[in-house]
Amino acid sequence: MDGSLRAAARAAKGFMPEEEGLALYEAGLAGARCGPLLEIGTYCGKSAVYLGAAAREAATVLFTVDHHRGSEENQAGWEHHDPAVIDPRTGRMDTLPFFRRTIEAAGLEDVVVAVVGQSIPVAAVWATPLGLVFIDGGHAVHVAMADYVGWARFVAPGGVLAIHDVFEDPAEGGQAPYRVWERAVAEGFAPLSQTGEPARPTTRRPLTPTTLFGRIWSLWLR
């Protein structure tokens, strides 16, 4: 990945370690062979820089969907709260200005397209097949599952579904993304290898987080 884009991603506010961002970039490159990229959960644009870098290289675009009001776990009193993203005028979260600065600083305004709104109403009217869908919106089970139901059907054959914060062991983290992962596998997605190439059937199991992308687990649609 381009060095200046890596630096821009590093400088952006967000929750994604660089190692995972680079894995996401690889997943983006793999998926971009089949169509444009889309992520649910923009926040301040950190992951959008990694996916935007892949989109630029593949001459496609990244759509990034967020209402910019934060998930439950981003609100005051929760672990992932950042008071800097509160709009003093209203007391509500507003990450949109931070996202705009991130993408401007990265020079990705021609590649990264913000969709500002709630994920499900957007999915309800969406029609374009996608090369990659990255699920990193709300992490409550009903929210993450609704994102899966709303968006996974747009993954083009051969495209990639990537899910953030997948923890097989409940002691390591919340289980909603892992439930989504399990459902995706049950419904025909196959795990990807770390290089972004479809894993051969013999290498598909056992499935452990380390065989995939750290906390980002990716699948491809057969």
Ligand X SMILES: C[S@@+](CC[C@H](N)C(=O)[O-])C[C@H]1O[C@@H](n2cnc3c(N)ncnc32)[C@H](O)[C@@H]1O
Q: What are 102's two structure tokens?
A: 């991130």
Q: What are 215's two structure tokens?
A: 């906390």
Nearer to ligand X, 156 or 163 (CB): 163
Which string of b and e fits 159-195 if b means at least 16 CB within 10 Å?
bbbbbbbbbeeeeeebbbbbebbeebeeeebebbbee
- Helix then strand count (H, E) for the chain reads 7, 7
Quick one: how far is CA 161 from the chain centroid? 9
Element (H, E) at 57: helix 46-57
119 lines the binding site for ligand X (CB under 6 A): yes
Nearer to ligand X, 71 or 218 (CB): 71
Q: What are 180's two structure tokens?
A: 């989504």
**Options 11, 17, 118, 205; binder of ligand X; rule CB under 6 A:** 118
**Options 103, 111, 143, 160; binder of ligand X; rule CB under 6 A:** 143
* DSSP 8-state symbol, 192: B
- Which of 67, 68, 139, 164 is the catalytic position? 139
CB-nearest residue to ligand X: 14
Q: What are 121's two structure tokens?
A: 């109403």
**Interaction pattern, residues 180-219, with ligand X; x per rule: CB under 6 A:** ----------------------------------------
Task: Report the site for ligand X in 19-58 (rule: CB under 6 A).
Answer: 41-43, 46-47
**Options 1, 5, 16, 37; binder of ligand X; rule CB under 6 A:** 16
161 lines the binding site for ligand X (CB under 6 A): no
Whether 142 is catalytic is no
Amino acid at 112: V
Interface residue list for ligand X (CB under 6 A): 14-16, 41-43, 46-47, 65-71, 74, 95, 118-119, 136-138, 143
Q: Which residues are catalytic?
A: 139
